[in-house]
Chains A and B, each alone.
Chain A
């Protein structure tokens, strides 16, 4: 079937290439360390998954590579002047799904409802929503439980699929685990996006071709005719593939290879900050820890111990050696892109081994203690290396740390279980809404229902919870920002988390390309244009 198909595709591409005035096929091979977990647009809220799916499915709004929000399937939006709890979105006219069906308000309502189902991994973005309804074919209203002045920030993460297609193929639910048949949407895709799925073999390769009927092609270059994503886990093999020209674009360039790649005439490397901060969390609430050697007490419950650990970390050394300069050391778990970030909050404590030791002694641990640190080894830039380095630094103040590093899915499971099954762990948090609220409600709010689902520290403070909840209702943005500032001042002082750095990313590519680093690490390949031609 394949050769016949390729011939057909080639013919189609040939015809359209003439129309576009481009003379030749422009395939692009894109390599990443890991594959998308699923192509169901509401299946997994996870970096590599979004990275792939955004090329086939589109959302109402979109953030560009610098993080700026702009229109996509919605042309404009507003809060109704007479009702602060209702948002209205005007939709783009003339958009078609890959199967030719027109895009309408019904699809938006359907997709939002699908994303709000318990089996969807995106419901966290939509907790404030009460109802999504259609006004006419090109108008949708979203009613929230209270006023939510920032709802539009969340719309860039919710991708729209065709209602008719999903109903026809029995894929109305995201990840229906009771149905023993596999979900149709896990293997097939039908969005409005710039690329159309040709074939997908999980963890082997995903092939997409250009959507020649793409509604927005006047505004984007869309020069790639065939886009192939290949996951290559081994760093050495991935870089070898780029150097030998087998792939054109490598999303995860290991930091140690950047210098060498920059010296290669045929390769270009782009770098830039990601909207993500890397930090350690600790169980500050349990009466006693299981993984330590202190009986009947929880050393992390003592703020002085947390401060001592914070001071023990030599952030500049991690930046220079482990990250080879590709990070920005920080004292707060908030990337600089986020509303609420200030230079003062960002300042990291100076490394001070002597003071850390005296703080430990003050807290009653003059000889330190031992504990266990859980770490991922395939999620963030050099995550295992960061943990290993930190273990050495904690060792220098007498805290002996046993390191457990494992694959991301297992590691995240430990954190997300309730109660959490880790007492000391590494996490990197990206902020897709660009607002502090996203960090507060996931990381600091008491674990209840949909709030605090990533807060494995056990930290719980009624006042803090109240202030966090007020953020989603407050319409006065000045007042809201004041609340954010006072929350950060209090939380930074509590030292619930030990911030390490904001992570930077590097993309490697064939020198005819120039793909800027995307702050959310979701490179938008519709924007690619081939300079060499």
Chain B
């Protein structure tokens, strides 16, 4: 009878972050701190939009057509009730942006989480099991990698509408978008996780766990996963920015969220119609919000990648 060797204790992720010089590098970079602050503010604004926003732009009964196309409050003809002005239906643009931000972040976030879940699962399987499973998954990944999210989303949208011709876009758009983003972004996670799993699988603690007779799923989740999850954080951050852009683009192309429940992309798409007619604020404020959000998230992602990969610093 052999003595079971206890699996190596893995320090928690948070502990490792504090332990490393990541925090120090964060405190050194002013740009990163500003970006983090902006992201935090936008997240809070989105999360608490029903309480922060003066009106609910998703409730048609509370929107009055008579208030349409009012310029921002500081301009001639502005109205103090609408700090950023109103859109073509009389919605308060400030409220619409907060709600739209929430929609965009929820879709982007859920999409990226779905992608990460699919990617991590398949990556673990491929790396740990190897052989035919590995070859199959990686071949699918190769092909999938070349299909951009836009194309997948458009196809899914077309098929969904072909099947449910009467379904309201309000009901289907969210799922279509989340699934499309999930299905198109998973490859990066799978490849990263597979790579690190291939290394981890030959380490002593995994051998030990296998000798003890622990089932493979348990080994993968309890022992391998915590050791390979680090780089996923970087991808998550950068992907969130991409996902938000993807959502905005699809809404702009008219296959995203309907104008009755506008995301940032839908608001930009609506505003685009008024760009030449002088109502510049309808496209400008949502556009600037989107750009700032993506820029800040990208800066955070850049910094995180450099911090985890000191060679490039």
Contact = CB atoms under 8 A, between A and B. Distances in A.
A and B touch in the complex (CB under 8 A): yes
**Which of B161, B167, B260, B272 has the most chain A CB atoms inside 10 A of its CB?**
B260
Given A317-B66, A392-B65, A395-B61, A405 B165 contact: no
Interface stretch (B24-32, B134-142, B274-282): B274-282
B28 to A, nearest CB: 44
30 contacts: A235-B272, A236-B275, A236-B276, A243-B276, A254-B273, A256-B88, A256-B274, A256-B277, A257-B277, A259-B277, A259-B278, A260-B277, A260-B278, A291-B166, A317-B65, A317-B66, A321-B88, A321-B90, A322-B65, A372-B166, A377-B254, A385-B88, A391-B60, A392-B63, A400-B61, A405-B169, A406-B169, A414-B165, A421-B166, A422-B166
Nearest to A396: B61
A385 B168 contact: no
Given A256-B88, A372-B168, A392-B90, 4 more contacts: A240-B276, A385-B88, A392-B64, A406-B161
A392 B276 contact: no
A402 B168 contact: yes
Nearest to B63: A392
B68 A321 contact: yes
B59 interface: yes
A392 B259 CA distance: 13
A314 interface: yes
A404 B60 contact: no
Interface of A: 234-236, 239-240, 243, 254, 256-257, 259-260, 291, 314, 317-318, 321-322, 372, 374, 377, 384-385, 388-389, 391-396, 400-406, 410, 414, 421-422
A218 to B, nearest CB: 42
Contacts of B65: 314, 317-318, 321-322, 389, 392-393
B21 interface: no
Contact of B260 (A318, A388, A421): A388
Given A239-B276, A256-B277, A392 B169 contact: no
A152 B166 CA distance: 40
Interface of B: 59-61, 63-66, 68-69, 88-90, 161, 165-170, 254, 258-260, 272-279
A234 B269 CA distance: 10
Contacts of B167: 404
A406 B258 CA distance: 10
Contacts of A236: 272-273, 275-276
| Chain B residues touching A, majority SS | loop
Contacts of A403: 168, 170, 258, 260
B97 to A, nearest CB: 18
A480 B90 CA distance: 46
B60 A388 contact: yes
Contacts of A254: 273, 277
In the A-B complex, the 3 residue pairs with the smallest Cβ-Cβ separation, listed nearest first, are: A395-B61, A392-B60, A256-B277
B273 A389 contact: no
Contacts of A402: 168, 170
Given A388-B60, A389-B89, A410-B165, A257 B276 contact: yes
Nearest to A392: B60
Contacts of B170: 402-403
Given A395-B60, A404-B166, A414-B166, A388 B259 contact: yes
A256 B279 contact: yes
Contacts of B89: 385, 388-389, 392
A385 B260 CA distance: 10
Contacts of B277: 254, 256-257, 259-260
Contacts of B275: 236
Residue of B273, B275, B276, B279 with most chain A CB atoms under a 10 A cut-off: B276
A354 B313 CA distance: 68
Nearest to B283: A236
A396 B167 CA distance: 24
A305 B167 CA distance: 25
A426 to B, nearest CB: 15
Contacts of A259: 277-278
A421 B168 contact: no
A322 B270 CA distance: 13
B55 to A, nearest CB: 12
A322 B68 CA distance: 9
Contacts of B88: 256, 321-322, 385
Nearest to B89: A388
Nearest to A389: B65
A322 B69 CA distance: 10
